[in-house]
Amino acid sequence: MADIVLTTFNARYLHAAFGLRYLLANLGPALRERAVLLEAVVGARPADVAEQVLAHAPRVVGVSVSIWNARESLELVRVLKRVAPKVLVVVGGPEASHEVDTNPVCLAADVVVTGDGEDAFRGVCEAALAGLPVPRRVDGGQLPLSALVLPYGEYTHHDLEHRVVYVEASRGCPFRCAFCLSALDKGVRKGPLERILPAFEELLERGLRQFKFVDRTFNVDLRAAEAVLTFFLDRMERYGPLFLHFELIPDRLPEPVRALLRRFPPGSLQLELGVQSLDPRVMAAVDRVQDVERLEDNLRFLGAETAAHLHVDLIVGLPHETLESFALGFDRLVGLGPHEVQVGILKRLRGMPLDGEAFGLVFAPEPPYEILATPTLDFPAIQRLRRFSQVWDLAWNSGHFPTALPLLGPPSFALCDALTSWLFGRLGRTHSVALGTVAEELFEFGVARGLEAAPLGAALAGDYTAGGRGATPFLKRFAAPSRSAERSGATAAPKRQARHAPRVMG
């Protein structure tokens, strides 16, 4: 039994709800003993989650709502209010913090907490459990990190061993990019290093070896960034291999930070750099301040002089972006050699400053509110780029075909766009495609473009089986012969595979 249940739908089981752990840690000792955390995964039936929540006989239920779980959260809140109307349901999180008067999940709940929830949610619980009236809306504001209890003790040993553990050294962002909720932040709130670094040390002592920083702009405070990087570098010899993920401002890497990044060994560092667009007119329209020449120099440095895995982001659907300008920016970015280019689709985040109507942007009416059309990218073009993003992930970002893909040619917008048209024409879809099918279609695509069958098939078979997978019946024709086959002389080259008939769309 618990008087307070905190719950959410994570995007995947692997993800641990960082914000809810902050709420738990800041309830105070007395209320913390009366609270539990219950995490579900997107796709779970909200009625089943409601059953699990109510099994604790709570008096207060807090639901953390984000754009990716808005549908499930709304249904959960509605079920709770129908079957347990006396339970006080409190919603908060990014999706519940804006447009409160029209937001369905806010209208369905009893109380809405906007902004930072650590103090506000505790106050709601104290009042509710004491039988006092609770305001319909409570503004949590933006809290200084020095005033908060750190949440890392709320991670269990199972979390540390099996899930992504999130940490932070700061909150907020100094920039005002109109498509991002961070534009609403009042500057960057720095975490107190004298408390944060000992907390990281304790996580290391408990066995954590992978830290994912959620800071929007980890390197905006260079002194703090250098201190954190040095902290982990100094502990790699004692604790063994570590893996760290940081999101960096792409045009801000002065030499002291570069010197530290050079020291990280292979496999220990992943850097995410939000480029979003390289078109000056697009960047001006969304108030994005970015030195493109410095950005390009930093990416070249990171690729040539560090062992970091580089993940960069582009967004489809920003104002004034055309198919041609997106293709140019994509090729320019790919040419800088990052390991992954993530092509994201613009979403209408509740509360973001971007005036979609003024720019003629058309968004989907239901979560996650993805862009459907703009004056310069009509609906078919957006759909084309959506499929492009899926195929780029399937083939290039996945890393499954490092030997075969170079045979098709250098990575480019035109190449991936052609493969996208090929796959969609033959399969009727570009999502939920089995890896073996991707390999077969890459073969057929390459042969249709004039590549020799045997070398391409051998490369695909080698790539496919490199991870321990057994070759599919199709790929077995090109797989390297086993030792027993070599001894028996069964080494004849396979004949060219006949072209597949088009598959039924579905």
What is the pLDDT averaged over residues 425-440? 96
**Per-residue pLDDT tens over the stretch 268-316:** 999 999 999 999 999 999 999 999 999 999 999 999 999 999 999 999 9
In order, the DSSP letters of 101-140 are: TT-HHHHHSSEEEES--HHHHHHHHHHHHTT----SEEE-
Q: Which of 499, 400, 402, 395 is nearest to 447 (CA)?
A: 499
What is the rounded CA–CA span in Å between residue 164 and residue 229? 19
**Per-residue pLDDT tens over the stretch 55-96:** 999 999 999 999 999 999 999 999 999 999 999 999 999 999
Question: Measured in Å, how far apart are the chain's first and last C-alpha atoms?
Answer: 47
Question: What pLDDT is attached to residue 479?
Answer: 82
Q: For residue 12, how many other CB atoms are within 10 A of its CB?
A: 10
What is the rounded CA–CA span in Å between residue 398 and residue 435? 10
Structure tokens at 194: 């004298």
Q: Which of 246, 197, 254 is nearest to 217 (CA)?
A: 246
Question: What pLDDT is attached to residue 506?
Answer: 31
- Band of pLDDT at residue 491, cut at 50, 70 and 90: very low
Structure tokens at 384: 């084309």
Q: Nearest-5° angle of CA 168, CA 303, CA 253?
A: 50
What is the pLDDT averaged over residues 255-263? 97
Question: What pLDDT is attached to residue 493?
Answer: 36
- The one-letter amino acid at 223: R
**Per-residue pLDDT tens over the stretch 172-196:** 888 889 999 888 888 889 999 999 9
Length of the chain: 506
Question: What pLDDT is attached to residue 481?
Answer: 63
275 to 56, 250, 391, 407, 485: CA distances (angstroms): 45, 7, 20, 28, 50
The β-bridge relationship of strands 170-173 and 187-190 is antiparallel
* pLDDT higher than threshold 70 for residue 500: no
* pLDDT higher than threshold 70 for residue 403: yes
What is the pLDDT averaged over residues 337-363? 96
* pLDDT higher than threshold 90 for residue 19: yes
Task: Calculate helix-pair angle for 292-305, 255-262, nearest 10 degrees.
Answer: 30
The β-bridge relationship of strands 88-92 and 111-114 is parallel
Query: 248, 312 in Cβ contact below 8 A?
Result: no
Domains of the chain: 4-139 (3.40.50.280), 165-365 (3.80.30.20), 378-506 (no CATH)
Q: Is the pTM of this model over 0.85?
A: yes
What is the rounded CA–CA span in Å between residue 138 and residue 131? 17
Q: Nearest-5° angle of CA 498, CA 501, CA 503?
A: 140
* pLDDT higher than threshold 90 for residue 43: yes
Question: What pLDDT is attached to residue 502?
Answer: 30
* pLDDT higher than threshold 60 for residue 369: yes
Structure tokens at 325: 């300008």
